[in-house]
Amino acid sequence: MSDRPASPVHRAQADAMRWDGVDVLAYKRDGDAPYRDVTRQILFDDPSLACQLRYFEVAPGGHTTLERHEHAHAVMVALGRGECLVGDRVYAIAERDLVHIPPLTWHQFCAGADAPLGFLCMVNGVRDRPQLPSAEDLDTLSRDPAVARFIAR
Ligand code: MN
């Protein structure tokens, strides 16, 4: 099964952060990994570029999965605000901020309590599956109080 959209030259924005012909998808298959209130849209998926550009939107109070993998992410915040964990640090993020996730680095995005968090994410077209943290990984991450607070929210 492919959720690859057709690739017309131009797609008008149909509504705020919604585009003609781009389906609003579940973030992940249910049960694959823990997350809350996240949608996924694949904006560009051209094999000749060897990457995809996706748009994720996290509803207020929601969060993506805490994960790591060998592939990297290049992220630009497009809507709202929130926080992200990258490695061993928590960053406050807002519209137009850029976030680079290096390979094999724990990361998670969290919307504000009263604001959504929408972000563009560029990623390899062919990539490894995300790894989830073990209890030991969570203990290690939680040695930092700010990270512990972020993970426990
Ligand atoms: Mn990831």
pLDDT digits (tens, 9 = 90+) for 46-78: 999 999 999 999 999 999 999 999 999 999 999
Q: Which of 51, 84, 110, 121 is catalytic?
A: 121
What are the residue boundaries of the structural domains of the chain, listed by start? 13-151
Task: For 5-31, write each residue's pLDDT tens digit.
Answer: 457 899 999 999 999 999 999 887 667
User: What is the full DSSP assignment across the chain?
Assistant: ---PPP--S---EEETTEETT---EESS-TTSS--EEEEEEEEEEETTTTEEEEEEEEEEEEE---BB-SS-EEEEEEEEEEEEEETTEEEEEETT-EEEE-TT--EEEEEBTTB-EEEEEEEESS-PPPBPPPHHHHHHHTTSHHHHHHHH-
Q: How far is the CA of 64 from the centre of ligand 1 (A)?
A: 9
Task: For 86-145, write each residue's pLDDT tens digit.
Answer: 999 999 999 999 999 999 999 999 999 999 999 999 999 999 999 999 999 999 999 999
pLDDT value of residue 1: 45
Q: How far is the CA of 143 from the centre of ligand 1 (A)?
A: 22
Q: How far is the CA of 102 from the centre of ligand 1 (A)?
A: 10
Q: How far is the CA of 55 from the centre of ligand 1 (A)?
A: 13
- Fold held by 13-151: Jelly Rolls (2.60.120)
pLDDT value of residue 6: 52
121 is catalytic: yes
Q: How far is the CA of 61 from the centre of ligand 1 (A)?
A: 19
